[in-house]
């Protein structure tokens, strides 16, 4: 797991350095092979709400802020927050009574995100350094978990899903954009279509993704493919809730 983490960290640190200078630096497809260099395709008019540097550092495959349907006063956690675009947009949606946390393991991305948040004038944000498998927040402290093309990068997904269930309040939800493989593709076939740091080799299948979320205790699990990004590999919307204990 440490080797995968280091490869991911190095690639995204390089992306942060180049984004801060005005270009992505990871190729026209972003750091993820399936990403898009045109955030306007994913965010539409929302790009006008964030600094240009946050837009340039956006390396995701969807718009989790729209997926999560955020409400005023909620506490949001963005796993793998990168340059901060989704945290900034979340902070604006939940308002001053809410809070938006961004978690990232890459110091260069955290520095960039903090500058972007300051430039955007949002104060109800906090960027945390750490691993998405080891969230530095108390249990039951978050209303909504979002993430943008990052879950597939984890080398220990069972632990990650357990952490999501731990920090989420009961009755609350997750709204994620991620890369998911067709159920007919073996892990070897996924690796043939792209690298782990390119968001392909580490992608779970639809069946695996749902099974892991349910094993971690999530309910109302829904995975909806939005478009194909490689042969048998899809950008997808993932939704689920943490149910109330039986009998409550």
**Residues 6 or more apart from 70 whose CB is under 8 A from it?**
76, 90, 93, 94, 98, 144
Return mean pLDDT, the chain.
Answer: 86
Sign of the Cα pseudo-torsion (225, 228, 229, 232, in order): positive
Summarised one tens digit per residue, pLDDT across range 129-181 is: 999 999 999 999 999 999 998 999 898 999 999 999 999 999 999 999 999 99
Q: Three-state DSSP class for 230?
A: strand
Between the CA atoms of 147, 37, 51 and 20, what dihedral angle is there, to the nearest 10 degrees?
100
More reliable by pLDDT, 35 or 120 = 120
The answer to whether the beta carbons of residues 158 and 215 sit under 8 Å apart is yes
- pLDDT tens-place string over residues 170-215: 999 999 999 999 999 998 888 887 655 556 778 999 999 999 999 9
User: For residue range 79-107, what is the model confidence (pLDDT) as tens digits?
Assistant: 999 999 999 999 999 999 999 999 999 99
Question: 34 or 42: which carries more pLDDT confidence?
Answer: 42
Quote the radius of gyration of the chain (alpha carbons, Å). 17
Determine contact, residues 151/83, Cβ cutoff 8 Å: no
* CA 22 – CA 33 distance, rounded (Å): 20
Q: Which of 41-55, 97-111, 118-132, 227-241 has the lowest mean pLDDT?
A: 41-55
> What pLDDT is stored for residue 71 in this prediction?
97
Fold for the domain defined by 2-241: Rossmann fold (3.40.50)
3-state secondary structure of 99: strand
């Amino acid at each position: 797991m440490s080797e995968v983490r280091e490869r991911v960290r190095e690639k995204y640190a390089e992306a942060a350095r180049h984004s801060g200078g005005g270009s992505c630096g990871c190729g026209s497809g972003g750091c993820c092979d399936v990403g898009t260099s045109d955030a306007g395709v994913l965010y539409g008019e929302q790009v006008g709400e964030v600094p240009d540097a946050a837009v340039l550092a956006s390396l995701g495959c969807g718009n989790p802020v729209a997926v999560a349907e955020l409400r005023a006063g909620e506490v949001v956690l963005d796993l793998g927050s990168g340059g901060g675009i989704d945290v900034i947009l979340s902070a604006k949606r939940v308002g001053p009574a809410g809070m938006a946390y961004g978690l990232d393991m890459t110091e260069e991305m955290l520095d960039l995100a903090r500058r972007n948040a300051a430039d955007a004038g949002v104060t109800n944000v906090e960027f945390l350094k750490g691993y998405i498998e080891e969230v530095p927040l108390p249990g039951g402290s978050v209303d909504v978990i979002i993430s943008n093309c990052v879950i597939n990068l984890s080398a220990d997904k069972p632990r990650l899903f357990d952490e999501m269930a731990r920090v989420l309040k009961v009755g609350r939800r997750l709204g994620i954009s991620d890369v998911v493989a067709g159920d007919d593709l073996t892990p070897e076939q996924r690796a043939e279509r792209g690298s782990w740091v390119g968001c392909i080799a580490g992608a779970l299948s639809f069946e695996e993704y749902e099974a892991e979320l349910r094993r971690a205790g999530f309910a109302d699990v829904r995975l909806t493919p939005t478009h194909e990004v490689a042969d048998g590999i899809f950008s997808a919307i993932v939704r689920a809730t943490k149910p109330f204990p039986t009998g409550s």
